[in-house]
Amino acid sequence: MDQPDKMRIAHRTVQYEGIPAPSAIGMALFESSGMRKLIDERCNFDPARRILSPGMVVKALIGPAFNIRNKYPLYLVNKFYSSAPTDRLFGPYVQKDDLYDNALGRGLDSLFGADLAGLFKDCSDLICTKFGFRSYVFHADGTDISFYGVEPEDTGDGAAVPRHNGHPKDLRTELLQYELQIMTDSNRIIRYMKPYSGNVGDPIMDGETLDFIGTHFSEEERARITVVADCKLVTTGNLKRMEDLGLGFVSKCPETFVDHGHRHAVEAANSGLMHPCSKDPGLRMSDFDLDIDYGGESHRLRFVAFRREDEVRRRIEGIRADTKAVRKMGYGFLEKRKYRTEYDAIQDFKRIREDPDNPYRAKYRAVRRKEEIRLVGGDSHKKDWNPPKQYREWWELEIDYVFSEEKARAIAERESTVVLVTNLPRSCSDRGSYREGVTDERVLDIYNQEYKVEQSFRLMKSGIGMNSIYLQTPSRENAMMFVICIAVLLSNIADAIFRRAEARLDGRQLTMYHLAHETQTWIVAYSRSENVLNVMGQDDAADRLFEYTDMLGINPQFLLGYMGD
């Protein structure tokens, strides 16, 4: 096999100024959207005493977030920019050593003082308006955000504080946890975020999300909004909130729903009212109204119930294989008893109350038993001793267990029935707005789109590259969660633009995450002597990069800089 020519080793460094292409794209999208300027306008800080403005701090932190190969704690962020033209990216006087952790931390302090939830909504509104995305369907959910640190005391500044989430078996007792509530629209774009202390429950977060909608959206906007969330949304207090605010909602009905609504809905659905879904014959649905009392008043709510036939069959087989059902019937001990009369045996069987929900039915037979009594003593030692035989007699119960297909199906249908509750008006066909009227199939489709908020959580924890927070000050940790959500927001917007353009990469729908993988080896470099931006990569790297920036509406000047204030 031929060997390659021996190369000459040059003992010198070829210097370049640049950053990885995915980071350049993410930072340029942030800059071109106007969010950096908006953040600076909303934060209180003294420009004369700050190396980096709060907006530039956010920009500096989201750069590493789009670098999918590495994660950087705050004190190593400056290492990410060790070969970058920082004076062009962050300001004419910013040097690489200026991106140290204290400078970034002061920017996070300014962010925390600017009302994180309100500032994030304004950033989201700004970029959605810029790219023409509008939606009034909001999917709300919460998730855990974990990090390493020392559990702090209550700081008194209103910051959410973490709780311990470590497990003694894995020795990771240093793991702390926050709760983070977000709300995405039907375009999968985050529209709201708020960090919470680690011990706050979902109903509280959902209630405060509704309060936020009430204070940050006009009455006209609320009349168009539909909130979609899991079963924690529809507590009595939250139902009253949504009614007062004029909001539409779709939620899974919890089994503990007020006024036994879930039980009544399941009973109504399984009383012969279900019909096949037009799009999926294996799915059966029902749509009806129930009067529910809460808040001292009666309210008519709409319930959409559905179940799948394959799920019913699977549950029937599970019921058949469950031997606990037989043991729970409580007849087993009767088979070991002996009775003086047949009547006593039958009465003992009848004393056990049969469980109407048990899929097995017990059948009995009273059987007469007898055995010979062996006599001993007396003349039993004589060879020709042959006394009359004597017997002992008693009665026993033989119990058979019969599996009831009919009862098992009833149980399986009841357990397989999922109930949604909503206040959206019923319509035979979908109207222009959900608030004007939707079919039962559309209600189910709206609820099934909860995956849209889960996509942002998944990206936040594994794809964006910042799934751990490396700070020990709650206010800065809260602000860092804002930065994480800004990075996800930028990814959401890019994904929405790619979907609208039907852009594809390697035969599949193009996303920002796939684009980061595709361009991770490309470098956007700056030639200071020529004042030229170059793309270092494969032959067509430059053409493809500018194709992506054109699609995202990014001025190439923003790839390594900003255009002033």
DSSP per residue, 449-486: TTHHHHHHHHIIIIISS--SB----HHHHHHHHHHHHH
Q: From residue 12, how far is each of 8, 15, 506 by CA, in Å?
A: 12, 9, 38
Domain boundaries, the chain: 18-117+484-494+502-560, 130-306+419-461, 318-412
Cα dihedral across residues 120, 125, 127, 128: positive or negative: positive
* Cβ proximity of 58 and 74 under 8 Å: no
Beta-strand pair 226-229/137-148? parallel
- The pLDDT, as a whole number, for residue 325 is 67
Tokens (6 digits) for 376: 């001993």
Q: Tokens 């799948």 identify what position? A: 308
User: Is 559 or 374 the better-scoring residue by pLDDT?
Assistant: 559
Q: What's the start-to-end Cα distance of the chain, in Å?
A: 61
Indicate if the pLDDT at residue 156 is higher than 70: no
pLDDT of residue 114 exceeding 60: yes
Q: pTM of the predicted model, to two decimals?
A: 0.85
Mean pLDDT of 168-185: 77
pLDDT digits (tens, 9 = 90+) for 200-252: 989 999 999 999 999 999 999 999 999 999 999 999 999 999 999 999 999 99
Position 478, amino acid: N
pLDDT, residue 149, reads 62
Q: String of b and e for 351-387 (b: at least 16 CB within 10 Å)?
A: eeeeeeebbbebebebeeeeeeeeeeeeeeeeeeeee
Q: Residue 432 above 80 pLDDT?
A: no
332-347: pLDDT as tens digits: 788 888 898 989 888 9
For residue 140, the surrounding DSSP H or E stretch is strand 137-148
Q: Which residue has the higher pLDDT, 420 or 330?
A: 420
**Which residue, chain included where needed, has tokens 């590495």?**
70
Confidence class for position 35, pLDDT limits 50, 70, 90: very high
Those residues whose C-beta lies under 8 Å from the C-beta of residue 484, and which sit 6 or more positions away, are: 65, 145, 460, 464, 466
Banded model confidence at residue 467, pLDDT cuts 50, 70, 90: very low
Domain 130-306+419-461 architecture: Alpha-Beta Complex (3.90)
pLDDT, mean of residues 518-532: 93
**Residue 380 pLDDT level (bands cut at 50, 70, 90):** low
Alpha-carbon span 217 to 230, nearest angstrom: 22
From 2-11, 37-46, 299-308, the region with the lowest mean pLDDT: 2-11
Q: Distances in Å between the alpha carbon of 169 and those of 144, 163, 166?
A: 20, 18, 9
Torsion of CA 203, 205, 211, 217, to 10 degrees: -120
Residue 333: what pLDDT? Answer: 80
What pLDDT score does 377 carry?
Answer: 61
Q: Please enumerate in sequence order all residues whose Cβ is within 8 A of that of 253, keeping only pairs 6 or more positions apart, or say none.
A: 231, 234, 261, 262, 265, 303, 419, 420, 421
Please tell me which residue, 561 or 464, carries the higher pLDDT value: 561
For the segment 144-166, the average pLDDT, to the nearest whole number, is 72
Percent of the chain whose predicted confidence (pLDDT) is above 90: 51
pLDDT band at 86 (very low <50, low <70, confident <90, very high): very high
What does the pLDDT average to over 5-22? 87
Q: Give the residue with greater pLDDT, 145 vs 40.
A: 40
DSSP string, 157-184: SS----EE---TTTT-TTEEEEEEEEEE
User: In sequence order, what are the residues at sequence separation of 6 or more whose Cβ sits closer than 8 angstroms to the Cβ of residue 330?
Assistant: 352
- Please determine, for residue 464, whether its predicted confidence score (pLDDT) is greater than 90: no
DSSP states along 239-264: HHHHHHHT-EEEEEPPTT-GGGHHHH
For 434-442, what is the mean pLDDT?
A: 93
Q: Which H or E element spans position 343?
A: helix 342-351
Query: Which phi and psi angles does 101 have, rounded to 5°?
Result: -65, -35
pLDDT over 70 (residue 514): yes
The pLDDT score that the predictor gives to residue 474 is 85
Following DSSP, what letter does each residue of 5-39 receive, concatenated? PPPPPP-S----EEEEHHHHHHHHHHHHHTHHHHH
CA distances in angstroms from 227 to 345, 394, 479, 493, listed in the order given: 61, 69, 26, 21
Residue 550, amino acid? D
Sheet hosting strand 17-20, strand order edge to edge:
17-20, 523-527, 532-536
Taking all residues of the chain, what is their mean pLDDT, rounded to a whole number? 87
Token digits of residue 58: 């956010």
Check if the beta carbon of residue 191 is closer than 8 Å to that of residue 138. Answer: yes
